[in-house]
Amino acid sequence: MSLYPPAEDSYLIQKHIPEFAQGRVLDMGTGSGILTLSAIRLSQVREVVAADKNPEAITALKKKIKEEHLRKITPIESDLFSAIQGSFEVILCNPPYLPQDEEMSKLSTDHSTNLSLYGGKKGWEFTEKFFHEAGKFLFPGGKILYLFSSLTNKKKVEEIITRHLFTFRELERKKIAFEELYLYLVEKPLILQELERKGIEDLCYLAQGKRGQVFTGVIDQNRLVKSHISKKLYLKVCIKIKHPESQAEERIENETKWLQLLNKSGIGPRYLFSGKGYLAYQYVEGTPLMQWITTAEKKEIILVLQEILKQCSILDQRGINKEEMHHPIKHILIDKDNFPWMIDFERCTETEKPKNVTQFLEFLRRISPELEKKGVKIVPQDLTILAQKYKKEHDPEAFRAIVALLS
Ligand SMILES: C[S@@+](CC[C@H](N)C(=O)[O-])C[C@H]1O[C@@H](n2cnc3c(N)ncnc32)[C@H](O)[C@@H]1O
């Protein structure tokens, strides 16, 4: 067994340590300990945790620490982050990054050499596992110095970094014999880091609008309520954060306020938690209304439209305008039990003249040809008369007549 002897890649990452290392540093895959020893010399570094899967690397480093009376270094045998605890300002990683094709493997039968060189069959498998977990071990604002080579598949590495919601910047590249080395500075937007620390796992980008970005993730429900259950009960969540380029102020806060209030009337997906610039609610597994109508039965369509009208009238009674009921194409999802969920409350306003019911009737009038194809007949003129009557004084009689019109 042998340790990875410091090479061009080690020196490339070592060169940038003084600029970035500070506070608590993790050296993932410490090998000979070259990066750990560079970092610990800096006055701004408080502690270095030196991790390696290879027990020989840890034994050798412990020996060195003892012989040279080095302090503030914690060597730890760990398969990636499995034995790592706490958070770090900086993570250094010169990983095994070569693809393990058969020819290359034949060159070495030594297990620790293979561990040092090969990142997996394709070369980037280690990178995938590393970024899947790294976010949970970074302090807010934390940084990663990550090295890889042209043989690792640059595009794939960048895709992995981005998919795990990190941003990257190339610090330096260096051509050596058969490859080019890249050193990246990798960081995570603060809000996403905070969410991971709150226990949101598998954060994935879902969509974005002009004002916000939406992510999905999962959270162990035991973290939401005080619980003694040790079994994890995962719940899929939707997270909205303000679009970095949006000028619209307070949209997330507005949606947070209205969603909490409307949940009390049984409207909207379950509010979970919120913080500065983000909102988390239960993910609704459903089909957008118009798409759902194309596959649904007449009876189901009538019940769903009646329920939507009921929710619209609750909004009206509370003096809230949702602002988009005349075109609720993306804002109503129908779940597998045929229940319509209104989503997106960011544009809600308080008003003396709420118009959710009348706007939705206007929408029904427009889609009456599609409804007719499914056997749901509504006479547009009747709708107009009843809508006018309802509009005048939110007459419950008129509302009942509207609902009846759909049956
Ligand atoms: C390319 S060497 C880098 C060593 C040293 N940091 C340097 O820059 O010279 C990669 C190191 O990662 C370690 N390693 C490989 N797989 C690992 C894993 N799953 N968890 C922790 N360390 C691992 C290897 O044992 C090896 O020491």
Distance 10 CA to ligand 1 centre (A): 11
Same fold: 192-282 with 287-405: no
**Mean pLDDT, to the nearest integer, of 86-115?**
83
| φ, ψ (nearest 5 deg) of residue 350 | -85, 140
Distance 52 CA to ligand 1 centre (A): 6
Kindly state the tokens that stand for 95. 């990983």
Q: Determine the pLDDT at residue 222.
A: 86
Distance 103 CA to ligand 1 centre (A): 21
> Which residue type is seen at 308?
I
Q: What percent of the chain has pLDDT over 70?
A: 95
Reported confidence tier of residue 162, pLDDT bands at 50, 70, 90: confident
Residue nearest to atom 12 of ligand 1 (CA): 29
> Which residue type is seen at 387?
A
Distance 25 CA to ligand 1 centre (A): 16
The domain spans of the chain are 8-188, 192-282, 287-405
Give ligand 1 pocket residues (Cβ under 6 A).
4, 6, 10, 29-32, 34-35, 51-54, 57, 78-80, 94-96, 115-116
Kindly tell me the sign of the dihedral angle through the C-alpha atoms of 40, 44, 47, 53: negative
* Probe target for ligand 1 pocket from 26, 30, 137, with the most ligand atoms within 8 Å of CB: 30
* Probe target for ligand 1 pocket from 27, 38, 49, 94, with the most ligand atoms within 8 Å of CB: 94
Closest to 298 in 3D by CA, of 405, 366, 372, 368: 372
- For residue 200, the number of C-alpha atoms closer than 13 Å in the C-beta half-sphere is 28
Per CATH, the number for 8-188 is 3.40.50.150
* Probe target for ligand 1 pocket from 16, 80, 116, with the most ligand atoms within 8 Å of CB: 116
Q: Determine the pLDDT at residue 251.
A: 87
CA angle 257, 259, 261 (to 5 degrees): 70
Residue nearest to atom 27 of ligand 1 (CA): 31
Distance 80 CA to ligand 1 centre (A): 9
Closest to 331 in 3D by CA, of 339, 340, 318: 340
Indicate whether 106 pLDDT > 70.
no
Neighbours of 22 (CB within 10 A): 16
Q: Determine the pLDDT at residue 197.
A: 79
**Residues 65-80: tens digit of each pLDDT:** 999 999 999 999 999 9
For the ranges 130-139, 214-223, 394-403, which has the lowest average pLDDT?
394-403
**Residues 367-376: tens digit of each pLDDT:** 999 999 999 9
The residue assigned the tokens 């270094």 is 73
Select 192-282's CATH number: 2.115.10.20, 3.30.70.141, 3.30.200.20, 3.90.440.10: 3.30.200.20
> What global pTM score does this model have?
0.67
Per CATH, the number for 287-405 is 1.10.510.10
From the alpha carbon of 112, which atom of ligand 1 is closest? Answer: 25
